[in-house]
Copies of this chain bind each other. A is one copy, B any other.
Amino acid sequence: MAMRAQRIGKANPAEDEAVYQAILRALLEGKLKAGTKLAETPLADIFGVSRERIRKVLHRLGAERRLEMIPNRGARVPRPTLDDVRRVYEAHRVLEAGVLSQLVLRVDDLLLARLDAHLAEERAAAQRGDRATSVRLSGAFHVHLVEALGNPELSRMLGDLLSRSSVMVSVYEPAAQSICAVDEHGAIVAALRDRDLLRAIAVSREHFLHVEGRLRLDEHGASESENLAAIFAPVKPLRRKARSAQS
């Protein structure tokens, strides 16, 4: 019994984060198609970490409602119903209405200036046809609104909602028109400048309904995304235990 100094218990929280971020990123970028099964053992091989670590990350993502966990059957990328998407959008709409109701009470020139600056950025990106930036800035507008309240609770809520709708967008939304119209954002700021809560809420509501209206109505049965190894390829294996599971 030669005291096999096992290499267990490394206590490396960075590894957890790395795996978590990698899967989350793939999820947010839409690289993982809806309905794909995320088995523990293959992922452990791909990332070169123990299965328990994968398991922990998967359960965490499940708790955040970003993965669908079925007891004894593992984790799957959720396949949201059109109704699910609508509910998330509605929640976003409701939350923003609340944010606006609080915001009209404390608008100041500084905030308005910041929002105007953001609108200018959005317009610039739209004019030069930079669609990627447009999409990013379009989402950032709503983040700006909620962060103006300086309440981490609310910011986190909206963040969760946004990340989830981002994933859903990749399923149901036509890629071309997925950006919010800059005019509508401008209208919200204008209403805010006038301290007109009812108009702000109405405009915001219209805005979200527009986005919702663009959702594709057909539920195309998202196919399983094969070869997971390729999806996580850009991420360097943390340990060199991973072998290419090429078929």
Residues on A close to B: CB < 8 A?
Answer: 11, 13, 60, 63-64, 71-72, 87-88, 90-91, 93-99, 101-102, 149, 151-154, 157, 161, 197-198, 201, 205
Contacts and interface: CB of A to CB of B under 8 A. Distances in A.
A151 B98 contact: no
A63 to B, nearest CB: 5
Interface residue SS majority, chain A: helix
A118 B101 CA distance: 26
A94 B95 contact: yes
Total copies of this chain within the assembly: 2
A12 to B, nearest CB: 11
B198 A154 contact: no
A95 B158 CA distance: 11
Most buried by B among A88, A97, A149, A198: A97
Given A63-B60, A157-B157, A71 B13 contact: yes
6 contacts: A11-B72, A63-B63, A87-B152, A88-B153, A90-B149, A101-B205
A30 B198 CA distance: 40
Contacts of A87: 151-153
A91 B63 CA distance: 21
A123 B13 CA distance: 53
Contacts of A97: 97-98, 101-102
A72 B64 CA distance: 23
Contacts of A161: 153
A172 to B, nearest CB: 16
Contacts of A13: 71
